[in-house]
Structure 1
């Protein structure tokens, strides 16, 4: 929840009136239902979107009048909604993947700390992220927020608290109606089609000044905090870095940023895409995750000893990442397209190596002081569900710390050439997720079974599509 500064009284504390105004002026989040009602009335909010991420990270939910929302109306969705593929299909039951035979309801429980406006709507509208529970009020184990929260509970049991900072890359592309044709970069304010090779240039960002202004404006009105925005190497490829913080809050922000960026792009007649590899010869888009772990009581970074040297926990965290992240890769690279990004000699690592300030490794340790010592996971792609990508990455580090997994030696050279030391496709990645016994503990068996079933269903849907490559090289040659 975004804190709101208020003026202090002469005695050094806020007056009752000032305390009342604080939550009304808050751009993001309130404490309880009473405050929610006051916040909505103060803004003249007519409708509210109650949304939750499905396993793909797609917002699902219901819109309702504000009066219904504040009257404690029960919100529910069919359980089958959360077992759809990205194409909207319902995969066949295979292995341990099963549907509720009655397709009973799952309930939406609003998290009022996420209440905020929807600044791109013409009518006064609010939105709130919801948790998913069953009819008895128990969290649904395979719901993305539940998966991440379960991993964070494992940290809390050890007296630890995870801190993360995601970086999200995305492309702006010209509007595109026919999926049989490749995507193309849009025209910028210069009137010219954007080309690549503009990494970190201000001119590259300035080509889309008005769109970027809307991204900042929409974000500010929702209480979302952008740390930096840069132009990446691909044509019209941008990256947004978020300030470090609590994993649930940061996953919520990524979830809402994706909506925000898409809406801002549509306003300017272009698309924003978070596909991992939208254009064949261009770099893919990543969601790099910076991670550290602090003592829950003192706030001290447990990756550093008192003398500033790296701790055993730091090395064990990296060891866990090296050993287990390849097995959890499908949570960070969830689609067939995700594995097109993972190609040798491209910007994406294709290994499980680690190194100091080495961007060719999967796990990079940026240069920092002892208090900011962290590990950057460079494998997740921007198409990943942020809740699941964070849960996967943090769980692997947790397993390493708990089991004292020793990492390999740090790479002191470029290691992004030659073979790919990771699952090379979706089905291989799914099999590795299912084959690791630890994952039933850190994610829940129900999640593993559900997620694997959905991913297999998506792969079968993909296999029904004949690609241009097949028509070009097989049509007359075989």
Structure 2
């Protein structure tokens, strides 16, 4: 076994130093971003080069139902070939034994990438940049809530009980005292992240009750998506150790702000090594404006990927810490597209529309795809918004059904993400939406039962 463990990433080797590896979790993200796969004894993992799962895992809705997306062959659940990417080998430090997780890539029988596997979708978009001599760079920000355990879906979600014995309080953004309330959970998050070799750029209290934000250092889009995928599991496990839940729902508590996955983008010109958004004089380039212009034109069609559930659209509320339109502005947090304060070398564009409930591979892929289309089309954006963008009209879809309509009618976006992915995604999400429409909500029973 030493043959392959010697080649593990440094953090994984340090985690196992002096220990006996018991198990390897072979995992892959499905469309919602749930980890699917198999757990193998370490001795068996050492002897195999791949394993199989049926392609139907990508046809499942979040409820476990199925979209009719199997194509011409019908629903025969063909096996995919899942090949480990050993650069992703990472500790699972919350387990009772010594366990590693390894993310796998999905291929068909001809060893062609499965086009609707989310990690492959993101790789396709990155390859489209590379074919043009460009390297995309991203930095995601993860917002989430720590909430009281909720075992009855009929009950509203409540803030968790803090260290003080009082429920987490809202409107305490950036408060260190508020962060201290969750100290034991945060300590485990840091410990787990260190064991997995992840660099946390910072952690802050956000505006919601029990809402935190973790920032990750900028880097390669696939690697950062892997980290967000891992982090969601890591944070959930840390929370459950302390009798609370971590939730990445876009809007878990009605009166509180929602949770976003803000995505910062820059692009490196490989020929020069320079930030494509910054000229030799330090000023903003045409490419910088074209990237923003592409986001303004194409993000409406990508919202169904960035906001993938009916709950996602409850986040887009005026004056509630989430954008309602596609305005852009410098250092303006009311706009959907923000240019943060930064040196010329670090000039970047932030997409504030993505919810934390999106699949990180697909959210980053869709956001980068919109910017790439802008670089190709070379059209300038609308004039900069220098005031409160909430005073402007909303121009993003308000419900998932409308967002899916726009997504299904976006051939340019499909070409970048992959037409087969777009077909499968639309079918699965449409099935999920139609399933939701059959549910009668408490609001309907309360206000319609005896009044209409």
**8 Å contact kept, 1:315–1:407:** yes
How many Å apart are 1:299 and its aligned residue?
2.4
Post-superposition shift, 1:284?
0.3
The offset of 1:319, in angstroms, is 0.3
Mapped contact 2:198–2:227 kept (Cα < 8 A) = yes
Give 2:30's aligned residue: 54
The answer (yes or no) to whether the contact 2:298–2:413 under 8 Å persists in 1 is no
Q: CA contact under 8 A between 1:24 and 1:39: conserved in structure 2? A: no
Which segments of 5 or more consecutive residues in structure 2 lack a partner in the other structure? none
Q: 1:349 and 2:349 equivalent?
A: no
Deviates more, 1:411-420 or 1:126-135: 411-420
Normalising to structure 2: TM-score of the pair? Answer: 0.96
Equivalent residue, structure 1, for 2:281 = 307
Contact 1:301/1:373 (8 A) holds in 2: yes
Which residue of structure 2 lines up, in the alignment, with residue 5 of structure 1? none
CA-to-partner distance for each residue in 1:189-211, whole Å, 9 max, x for gaps? 10011110110000011001111
Deviation at 1:427, TM superposition (A): 1.1
Q: Bigger CA drift: 433-442 or 169-178?
A: 433-442
Task: State the distance in 2 between where 1:171 and 1:341 align.
Answer: 14
Does 2:254 match 1:280? yes
How do residues 155-304 of structure 1 correspond to structure 2 at under 5 angstroms? 155-304=129-278
Report the equivalent of 1:451.
425
Q: Which residue is equivalent to 1:78?
A: 54
Q: For 1:408 and 1:146, how far apart are their aligned partners in 2? A: 33
Asked if structure 2 preserves the Cα contact closer than 8 Å seen for 1:161 and 1:293, the reply is yes
SS at match of 1:260: helix
Q: Mark the CA change 1:416 to 1:97 in structure 2 (over 3 Å): closer, same or farther.
A: farther
Compared with structure 1, are the counterparts of its residues 98 and 57 closer, same or farther at alpha carbon in structure 2 (3 Å cutoff)? Answer: farther
Question: Could you tell me which of 102, 110, 114 is aligned with 1:128?
Answer: 102
In the other structure, the counterpart of 1:366 is: 340
Which portions of structure 1, spanning 4 or more consecutive aligned residues, are displaced by more than 3 angstroms?
A: 20-25, 38-43, 96-101
- Given candidates 345, 365, 369, the residue that maps to 1:391 is 365
Distance 1:234 1:46 in 2: 40
Paired residues for 1:386-425 under 5 Å: 386-417=360-391, 419-425=393-399
Task: Provide the C-alpha distance between the structure 1 equivalents of 2:259 and 2:15, rounded to a whole number of angstroms.
Answer: 37
Alignment of 1:31-50 (within 5 A): 43-50=19-26
The separation in 1 between residues aligned to 2:396 and 2:223, in whole angstroms, is: 30
Provide the secondary structure at the position in 2 that maps to 1:337.
helix
Distance 1:279 1:144 in 2: 28
- Correspondence for 1:15: none
Which structure 1 segments of 5+ residues have no match?
1-19, 30-37
Residue number in structure 2 paired with 1:26? 10
Secondary structure of the equivalent of 1:367?
Answer: coil
Label 1:362 to 1:135 Cα distance change in 2 as closer, same or farther (>3 A). Answer: same
CA distance in 2, matches of 1:50, 1:173: 29
Q: By how many angstroms is 1:44 displaced?
A: 1.2
In structure 1, what is the Cα distance between the partners aligned to 2:367 and 2:19? 39
Q: Normalising to structure 1: TM-score of the pair?
A: 0.91
**C-alpha root-mean-square deviation of aligned residues, in Å?**
1.9
Query: Structure 2: how far apart are the matches of 1:303 and 1:120?
Result: 42
SS at 1:416 equivalent: helix
Q: How many aligned residue pairs are there? A: 449
1:387 CA drift (Å): 0.4
Q: 1:24 to 1:280 in 2, by over 3 A?
A: closer
Change beyond 3 A, Cα 1:67–1:40: farther
Aligned to 1:464: 438
Whole-angstrom distance in 2 between the partners of 1:352 and 1:211: 36
CA distance in 1, matches of 2:150, 2:265: 36
Q: Distance in 1 between matches of 2:411 and 2:50?
A: 37
CA contact 1:40–1:66 (8 Å) conserved in 2: no
Q: CA deviation at 1:345?
A: 2.1
Is the 8 Å Cα contact of residues 111 and 129 (structure 1) preserved in structure 2?
A: yes
Q: Matched residues in 2 for 1:429 and 1:24: separation? A: 42
Alignment partners' CA distance in 1, 2:425 and 2:73: 12
